[in-house]
Structure 1
Amino acid sequence: MTSHRGDAVSSPAHPLLRSSAAAVIRAGGPGGAASPSAALHIACGPEGLACARSFTRDTLRGWSLGHRCDDATLVITELATNAVTHAAPRCADAQDVRLGFRLEPAHLLLTVSDPDDRPPVRTPGTGAALEEHGRGLHIVDALSEAWGWTPAPPAGKTVWARLSAHPPI
């Protein structure tokens, strides 16, 4: 996968970025092993964001990645908040925002897909410590190794962030 920092388009080569599953996916693998992927549709509202945080923590703990829970939960919350805030008027139903998680040998890929075709915009910060809006993608940039977005045919986009799966040193 070609990765970019910021608001550039990435290659949709990764299967999770091309996925169009319509249900919660967290099936066990062979021999009862945990699946290396999980997905969830969330409602466009505060209850959906609470569900996103819970699902993120539960999924990462199930993958023995408790050490990544705080950063991953913050990243997924920021991405989901952007999707819910900006895609909500375009939501055909209450659950048009989809979260995706993929565990790779050294990385955790987090994705949020929504029906809005417009790319994410990282607003220039004014430097004011108490800004209420416009800091989400700055937080994603600070906590992830890389992030970007890709169009999600037939309409919409997927914003992704890659975090290290290794424990902090």
Structure 2
Amino acid sequence: MHLTLRPPASAVLPAGDPGARSYGPLPAVPRIEDGTPLPTVPAAAPHAAVSITCSREGLARARSFTRDTLGDWSLTHCGDDATLVMTELAANAVTHAASRCPGAPDVRLGFRLEPAHLLLTVSDPDDHPPVVSPGAGSGLEEHGRGLRIVDALSEAWGWTPTAPIGKTVWARLSTRPPI
């Protein structure tokens, strides 16, 4: 079974590329290659959520909440990757959404334990899709590498609009212990 969770090229808009194609949001329900919806996770699946302020303190809370949640779920082997992915997604939301939506509600982080996977979500009030910065792959840039890090550490990631405004950026990580 092969999962199609985002278009093969990217689920985001490349920045600064005049020939860039726009990829729309992902479908609400991930589907198998033949179009069959994946089985849904029961509503009783372990989940956790927290709102953070758009500040350095909020990002510190994102890191500690991630570590604490994974510790409670006996997933400390996923802790480093999940903490880095959540911090990058939260930093993007705090940096970009806060500047575009002053006075908007805080950023909301979510975790959902699925069979063999951990789903991380970050919701913010900004309607703009995430953007992969050009040249961020050089390793010499001080900013702009966040989504490339998310892509490298997650099995899949993407975004979806939320009603009435905003978006949710998500990443799916394996919960299998390392071999």
TM-score, structure 2 as length reference: 0.78
Instruction: Return structure 1 stretches of 4+ with deviation > 6 angstroms.
Output: none
Using the alignment, how far apart are the partners of 1:126 and 1:48 within structure 2? Answer: 25
Q: Where does structure 1 lack aligned partners over 5 or more consecutive residues?
A: 15-28, 30-34
Using the alignment, how far apart are the partners of 1:11 and 1:46 within structure 2? Answer: 32
Q: What displacement does 1:6 show? A: 3.6
Q: Does 1:123 align with 2:133?
A: yes
Change (3 A) 1:67 1:133: same
Deviations 1:40-98 (A, max 9, x none): 000001000000000000000100000000000000000000000001131435x5200
Percentage identity across aligned positions? Answer: 68
Using the alignment, how far apart are the partners of 2:164 and 2:4 within structure 1? Answer: 21
Change (3 A) 1:163 1:54: same
User: What is the aligned counterpart of 2:53 among 43, 47, 64?
Assistant: 43
C-alpha RMSD of matched pairs (Å): 1.8
User: What is the aligned counterpart of 1:85 among 95, 116, 120?
Assistant: 95
Larger Rg: 2
SS at match of 2:131: coil
Q: 2:107 touches 2:122 (CA, 8 Å); kept in 1?
A: yes
Q: Does 1:12 align with 2:12?
A: no
Moved more, 123-132 or 137-146: 123-132
User: Number of residues paired by the alignment?
Assistant: 149
Corresponding residue for residue 5 of structure 2: 3
Corresponding residue for residue 109 of structure 1: 119
Corresponding residue for residue 145 of structure 1: 155
Using the alignment, how far apart are the partners of 2:130 and 2:79 within structure 1? Answer: 24
Q: What displacement does 1:124 show? A: 2.1
Q: As a proportion of its length, which structure holds more helix?
A: 1
Q: 1:6 touches 1:141 (CA, 8 Å); kept in 2?
A: no
TM-score, structure 1 as length reference: 0.82
Corresponding residue for residue 71 of structure 1: 81
Change (3 A) 1:155 1:58: same
Change (3 A) 1:129 1:156: same
Q: Where does structure 2 lack aligned partners over 5 or more consecutive residues?
A: 13-22, 31-43
Counterpart of 1:13 in structure 2: which amino acid?
V
